[in-house]
Structures are given as structure tokens and as C-alpha cells.
Amino acid sequence: MIDPAVFDPSAISDEIRGQNAEIVAKLAALPDPMSVPPALVRERRRQGLGPFPQMPSSSRARTIAIDGPAGPIPLRIIAPDNPRGVYLHIHGGGWTWGTADEQDPWLDRLAERCGLTVVSVEYRLAPEDPYPAAPDDCEAAALWLLRGMEGRFGTTRLFIGGESAGAHLSAVTILRLRDRHGLTPFRGANLFAGCYDLSLTPSVRQWGAERLILNTNDVRVFADNFCGQAPDRRDPDISPLYADLSGLPPALFSVGTQDMLLDDSLFMASRWAAAGNRTDLALWSGGCHVFIRFDSGLSEQALSRIDGFIEGL
């Protein structure tokens, strides 16, 4: 069983306790991001005015475009010399914000430490393009990689992963490749702080108004944006928590104990394991939603755990 000590307030370091307090204070002083158009929030994020600090761009990143179901899909590629694998990355942002170039240092790290060519998908965003737009784009990117990655990158060793909405879309992509194409190509899945139930888990519903990166209303709005007119939010293609999870790759589920999406990872990891799949669950005391976006000792521990998971497959 999970060690309850990880949830004890005394397990939270002074560094993380102070960092969380700064985040709450900063966001409380800003306008409610759900009260303004998504396009404006996206622009503010590009200026470093969102909840997360800006990350520097990689000097070795390049962007190509592939054919998608509704037009070209940009892919941001960061490649090491002589790659030993490929990592299909799907960014977060509540299916509404976020871009493929917002987290280059993470992708550089995977290239350097794990020898992976990282391919990050610039999928269509909601509410302008609701379900199934984003999953369709991610599925198309995965199929493109499978068709050509050995010739282009010299390897067939394939991983997938993402953060928050990106972890959700990674799980959906894994399931689509299995169910629609009979393909199980991924060596492993790195799923960080995902939202796997768009009807909302108890930890989301009970969180309340405090915005430690997110609050309850934020996730409700994000889910509304993504789902659009979809009639059943527990359709496994929307909420992968309700899918048949048999025959899936090893997965590392990571989440902080102060992340309002905590239940999503607890529930999904349990179902992943119960379906007979190798499952690692990393719980980080005091970590907020996608806390690895902030420099801290806890972030380095979590990122090193990801490195070790990938290197062990």
C-alpha cells in the first residue's frame, strides 16, 4: 500500500512550503484567468505572466510540419547525436493553453541524459477546436513516427509522455493505437499529473477556490472547453480512466500530494496495475500541480526518477 507518511504535512520541506505559498499569493493577485478569453491568457503566458516561470528555448530545437486530419501539425524536435530512442511528448495547459516550445529544458534533459530524440506535438487547442481535435492530432503524430522514425532517427525504441492535459492525451493516444490500429509500440509512458476523468475526481471537486496553480473551477472550465458537445464524459476516449487498460506499456505516474489532480493519478495507476501492466507511482510530498516547472530539490528528485524509469526500459 501507499505509505501514508508521504501525505503528512511534516513531510513537506520548508522550500516547497514557501514555494507553494508564493504561488498562491501571486495567483491571488492576478485576474481570474477564466474570466478572460483564452487567446489573451495564451499571450500572457508567452510573456511569462502565467502561473509558471518562462523556460529558455533550446538552441538545437527545430520545427517541421506533418499532414494532420485538419491541416498541418507542427512538431518540435530536439535530437541528440546518435539517438537511442524517440520520445513523443504532449504538452499540458488544460487542452486550452500551452505550446510545444514552453518546456525545452525538460526535453533537452531527455535528449542529453536518456539519449532520446524528443518530438513535441503542437496539437489544436480548445475551445476553438474541441474534442476530438487534440486526440486526433496526437494520434496522427504517433502514426507518423511509427511509419518513419527508424529511417529518420535510426531507432525503433519509442516512448510517450506528457504533463497534465499532456498526460491525459498520452494515455488516449496509447489506447487509440491499440484499439484503432492494433499497435502497442511504446516502450514506456511517462505520465505526470494527468487528468484522466473529465467528469472530475473527488480531489478536484473538493479542492475549492484556492489557486495553487489550479482550482476546482479552472478544471471544470478546461473540461468544458475540451469536451465541447460530447455527450458522455466517461467515454474512454475522453476519460481514459474508464478504458480497458489491458496490454499497455510500463508507466510511471508522478504527482505531488498538494496537486488537486491527485486522485486522477492514484486511480489511474491502480487500474493500470490491476490490468496487469508494470506500474510505478511516484508521490511527492507537498508538490503542487506540475511542480517540476519550478526549480527545487523536489523537482530534481522527480526529474531524476523519470530519467531512471526511461533508462531502465
Sign of the alpha-carbon torsion through 96, 99, 102, 107: positive
The answer to whether 263 and 189 have CB atoms below 8 angstroms apart is no
Q: Of 91, 264, 289, 299, which one is the catalytic site residue?
A: 289
Q: Of 164, 203, 254, 285, which one is the catalytic site residue?
A: 164
Annotation marks residue 259 as catalytic: yes
- Cα(71)–Cα(80) distance, rounded to whole angstroms? 29
- Cα(161)–Cα(212) distance, rounded to whole angstroms? 23
Q: Of 259, 263, 264, 280, which one is the catalytic site residue?
A: 259
Strand partners, 64: 75
- How many other β-carbons are positioned within 10 Å of the β-carbon of residue 5? 9
Structural Rg of the chain based on CA atoms: 18
Kindly state the helix (H) or strand (E) to which residue 241 belongs, with its residue range: none
- Cα(220)–Cα(24) distance, rounded to whole angstroms? 19
Annotation marks residue 289 as catalytic: yes
Annotation marks residue 299 as catalytic: no
Q: Which residues are catalytic?
A: 164, 259, 289
